Amino acid sequence: MNYIEKIHKSTQKESAVSNIDGWLFTDFTNKDSITKELLSIPENIFPTRRWIYIILANNEKPIKITHSIEPNVLCHLPSSQEYTYSSYEELIEILKKFSHKTFAILCDSNLPIISTVDGGFIDLLHSLQINTVSAASLIQRCKGLLSPAGINSHERASVMLYKIAESAWNFIVKHYEEKKDLTEADVS
């Protein structure tokens, strides 16, 4: 399963729980490292205009919205519909097509680390009656779930950690019982 399919499946699962219509990604000037990683945006792409990529919860392919100066900024991503705008007014007209939809975006008042969408753009979406919710649970679905190999790795690490903690404690107890000086450096 490629990364777009994984994001799409996660969006579908989240939609069943929270009734979102999709996941809206947006960026310009490479301010959003989470989106860059999730969408595998190449390092050599440095957009100076806003782009938007919408992964819908239904079975439709994603939608691209790019500026006419940089129409190929998302050329590595699949899409069913592509829109290009040249002015702010044209962008508004394109976005109006999504009025009364709810999209997850990278903005969460409780998790500032994932809040990469600027407030002006969020205000624009809301003024067009496009609802937004936090994409935190989607990020967790895409990046936070362990594979069977990851689970095994964590289990091995926990066994080692318990052995290390027991060994350190025994070392401390021995020094205490023998009334020997002990420093933090000795324990480490």
- For 127-154, what is each residue's pLDDT tens digit? 999 999 999 888 887 776 667 787 788 8
More confident residue, 87 or 159: 87
More confident residue, 102 or 146: 102
Q: What is the DSSP letter of 97?
A: G
Tell me the average pLDDT of the chain.
89
Instruction: Report the C-alpha gap between 104 and 135 in whole angstroms.
Output: 5
- Six-digit token string for 180: 């020997």
Q: By CB neighbour count within 10 A (0-12 exposed, 13-18 middle, 19+ buried), where does 141 fall?
A: middle
pLDDT, residue 144, reads: 64
pLDDT, residue 1, reads: 46
What's the pLDDT band for 100 if we cut at 50, 70, 90? very high
What's the pLDDT band for 14 if we cut at 50, 70, 90? confident
pLDDT, residue 152, reads: 84
Judge whether residue 121 has pLDDT over 90.
yes
Query: What is the share, in percent, of the chain residues with pLDDT greater than 90?
Result: 51
State the CB neighbour count (10 A cutoff) for residue 144. 10
pLDDT, residue 146, reads: 62
Record the pTM.
0.76
Query: What is the share, in percent, of the chain residues with pLDDT greater than 70?
Result: 97
pLDDT, residue 65, reads: 97
Three-state SS at 156: helix
- Six-digit token string for 34: 């989470």
What's the average model confidence in pLDDT over 64-91? 94
